[in-house]
Amino acid sequence: MGSPFCVRGFPCKISTLYTITPLSVSVSRNWNIKRFTVCRFHGIFGHMTPQLPKLQILPLPQLILHEDHDLQRTLPLVEKLRAQGILRNPPIVMPLTDGSGRYMVLDGANRVTSLQEMEFPHIVAQVVDPDDQHIRLETWNHVVWNMPIKDLLRSVRDVPGLKLMEIERGSNQRNELDCLPVEIQLADGKTYITCTTREGIRLAAYLHGIVDSYKDKSFLDRTMEANVDFFKEVHNDLTALMIYPKFETKMVLELAGNGNLLPTGLTRFTVSPRALHLNYPLHELSSGKPIEYKQKYLNHWVQERIKKKNVRYYAEATFLYDE
């Protein structure tokens, strides 16, 4: 009997493992145990190789961010990269559609800025297409605590061009507005909404103004939860839940291409399949060899991993405890 096929016709060796996943994306006391299948690839893929995540050597100057980045996070990673000598997980990038040859970083901004700080000419990245059906763009909401409600409202009202309107929580008013609304659910039961324009440069300015109104004056965390009441048992000094609008990938690409970065911690791209634990040697990226040579070496390097049965596919969401 031949080898079983479990992923797009890839021959693999099947094992059964278990994973524990939260029923809620944010803080949750409910957990779900799932069984999932692990495929360990074997043999040479040959013509099937393109079905793996697309790994490509790219010039670092061609990569641009779509969110603000805190440079204070870069220096610790620079030291870690120098000590380990490997790039553990490749960043995920998407080509801009403006013909500029640039790529927007979906995930891995800290890795990109760290290698730029180290003056690397190239980086290995997972490249995904804008029309890829396996890419999801989600929006993070912000739960805010340890800030007086009146101070939050005053700070938001001080953002130039924005107006607050009180609405009934749970009403359909948010969906009736011809704008990108930001909803503010206060811990005292009141709910406000403010409209942001869809125009790139003004949209970025409005969102920065709203986030800046509380980010350095309170504690905050990102969440997918959309009801402030969920956090009342979590934070005794709860202030509000900031619910941000849904973005489209095309809009984020255009904003980034025009240099209009979003505030940190608003967008979350998920990609399937995802290339992880690549552990690619940094000396292959830092050398002065031409990019064509580096790409051929990367392709060969990946094929060697496959031959040695080092490539695995996880069919379900997992928790990694060695990050």
Q: CA 80, 83, 89, 93 torsion: positive or negative? A: positive
The residue with greater pLDDT, 149 or 49, is 149
Q: Is the pTM of this model over 0.85?
A: no
Average pLDDT score over residue span 92-120: 96
Among 263, 283, 37, residue whose Cα is nearest residue 142: 263
Beta-carbon contacts of residue 161 (< 8 Å; ≥ 6 apart): 202, 205, 206
Average pLDDT score over residue span 283-308: 96
Average pLDDT score over residue span 190-195: 92
The pLDDT value recorded for residue 174 is 67
Give the C-alpha separation, 193 to 191, whole Å: 7
The residue with greater pLDDT, 238 or 23, is 238
* Domain regions of the chain by residue span: 54-134+272-287, 141-243
Residue 37 has pLDDT above 50, yes or no: no
The pairing of strands 267-271 and 135-139 is antiparallel
Q: What is the mean pLDDT of the chain?
A: 84
Average pLDDT score over residue span 254-270: 94
Cβ atoms of 264 and 204 within 8 Å: the answer is: no
Residue 243, SS3 per DSSP: strand
Give the C-alpha separation, 184 to 167, whole Å: 10
Average pLDDT score over residue span 170-174: 72
Per-residue H/E/C for 28-76: CCCEEEEEEEEEEECCCCHHHHHHCCCEEEEEHHHEECCECCCHHHHHH
The pLDDT value recorded for residue 32 is 42
The pLDDT value recorded for residue 48 is 41
Give the C-alpha separation, 63 to 93, whole Å: 8
Q: How many CB atoms lie within 10 A of CB 154?
A: 11
User: What are the pLDDT digits (tens) for 195-221?
Assistant: 877 777 888 999 999 999 999 999 999
Of 64-78, 123-137, 253-267, the one with minimum mean pLDDT is 64-78
What are 145's strand-pairing partners?
Answer: 219, 238
- pLDDT over 70 for what percent of the chain? 82
Average pLDDT score over residue span 94-123: 96
Residue 304 has pLDDT above 80, yes or no: yes
Give the C-alpha separation, 183 to 189, whole Å: 13
Is residue 233 classed exposed, middle or buried when 0-12, 13-18 and 19+ CB atoms within 10 A define those classes? exposed
Where residue 47 falls among pLDDT bands split at 50, 70, 90? very low
What is the CATH T-level fold of the domain 54-134+272-287, as seen in this structure? 3.90.1530
